[in-house]
Amino acid sequence: MRFVQDIPHTQFRIGLYAWNGKYIVKIEAGPYEQTYKVSEMDLLTPDAVPTLLDDDFLTKVTVRFQEMDTDWQATGERNNVF
């Protein structure tokens, strides 16, 4: 996997990678990560990727991170690990 660029954001660490004919967007928040793949053929340039990360999309990413944390905490409590 080849690193392409960091995409600046105040809340998340966002990295853009290229691998196997796809751009991979990794969005990290604390211990959690969301990964999105898009074919290189679907975009003219990797510079188009940040335009996909608009406010509506990132709001949903935030909610998904919250849900991931809730699920993780719940399984820890159910299984007496946390």
CB 49 within 8 A of CB 26: no
Mean pLDDT of 63-67: 98
CA distance 43 to 61: 21
Alpha helices, H only, the chain:
49-52, 55-78
Chain centroid to CA 14: how far?
7
pTM (two decimals): 0.91
Closest CA to 57 of 33, 29, 27: 27
For the segment 2-61, what is each residue's pLDDT rounded down to a tens digit? 999 999 999 999 999 999 999 999 999 999 999 999 999 999 888 999 999 999 999 999
